[in-house]
Amino acid sequence: MKSTIRLFLSVAIIVTGLGSTVAAQTGPLQVGAAKVDITHFGYPDGEVPITAYEHERLYMRAILLDNGETRAALIGSDTSGLDGVWEIASPLISEEFEIPVQHILMSAQHTHGARMDNAQGFTNAILKALALAETGLQPARMGYGEGSAYLNANRNVIDKETRRWTQDTNLDAYSDKTVAVLAFYDPQGAPIAGYMNYAMHPVTSYLTGIITADFPGAASRHVEQAFGDKTIMIFSKGLEGDQNPRTLRPGTNVMASLSGVEVTGFELVREQVETPFRDRRLEGDVRNPVLDRAFMEWVQAQGMVLGEEAIRVMSHMDRLQDDVRIAGSQMVLACPGRDLVERVPRGDPGTYRDGPDAHIQMGLIGINDVAIGSITSDAFAIIGKKIKEASPLRKTMLVSHANLDTDDVGYIYDDAGAGQNTFQVVQSRLKPGCAETGLVENFTDMIYDYLW
């Protein structure tokens, strides 16, 4: 039964439709995939990479789907974001490759170790990757599967000493361990491409000064190399606004060595190590090659664990489908907004004035019995859990940092998390009581519309 809560919330939530193609027909699936090296965008002039690890290279990846009736594009970027790219790239993609705009899913894996400020360069890379993918279109079968990985943990917790909310590992709060994979195979069973999804914030590289695609890039390259670089694997982020790597010690140690904080061997509290950076009190700034190497190894290890789980899932998919329906829709959810009156110490509650509405762009691409939902911002994992529970399709994947042009929202917290005075909640432009319900109900309706 379709939800009716949208009527109840009509005063608080404004829903704007951006078009849909819900009447699409099925047809024989063809898939092409490619990647383009964009590493040169990530390195400032004069910076020298370590050049020992695959995750130091940055790629723009694309998967093109065609069923003879319509097309869709799944695009993933080894960058922090894709600011300004959607506005430039989406009409060009639609025109040059005959892909409806609502069938385009463009996401950044949000590494904190690569630049993101070249909209035209990234657009060119997307167009090149799609052109290569189009050239390689071939008959394909698709499958979907899920596994799990215990690398992540909730990151919102009350500090035992200060009794304030802080960012640290919280093993008692909700964490989504799902590794979801949408995979495409040629008629002989060889993988053409995969689209994997995991809810963990790529902050391992934060403030380390090392260029890296972080664990998402390491995971993608691990899978691609496992199949002799004849397949493309796109990593996409699940709803991970409150999900960090369970272990941050290697990256925190690098940060500490640069800020003058003593590295003892024990786990350091990251927010305390960040303080000299935020206050511009840096005493170190001398690279420690031993800590750098340990950090890079840890990034590689996380990527290998995720990559191996993706390969395990891909190895056991059955009921592959070669006749598919492709459809998509997009909409904007507008929630009452707020503006922070002044900056407050971390852990303190904020004081706000009423602000303009905050806008969350939502998208859905349906491929047979698989629903891929997308949002522009970082959302808390419990919202993803509720969306999946409400979805009429068991095979529902959620992607954050997608189709982003401008983000006037910040983090999307759940209703119960409104009192967690972490920076994600305090700096969010969302007033409590709108986003969680709006996302759950409207994604559910979008999926029902796709099915009907």
How does 403-417 read in b/e, with b if 16+ C-beta sit within 10 Å?
bbbebebbbbbbeeb
With a cut of 50, list the residues of the chain below it in pLDDT. 1-16, 21-22, 46
Q: Cα dist. 400→147, 349, 352, 437 in Å?
A: 19, 26, 26, 17
User: Where are the domains positioned within the chain?
Assistant: 5-451
pLDDT for 70: 96
Q: Tell me the C-alpha distance between 105 and 337, whole Å.
A: 26
Phi, psi of 119 (to 5 degrees): -60, -45
Spatial strand order of the sheet with 30-37 comes to 104-108, 71-77, 59-66, 30-37, 138-139
pLDDT for 280: 59
H or E, element range at 192: strand 191-198
pTM of the full predicted structure?
Answer: 0.93
pLDDT for 42: 65
In the structure encoding, which two tokens stand for residue 55, read together?
A: 């995750």
pLDDT for 114: 81
pLDDT for 405: 62
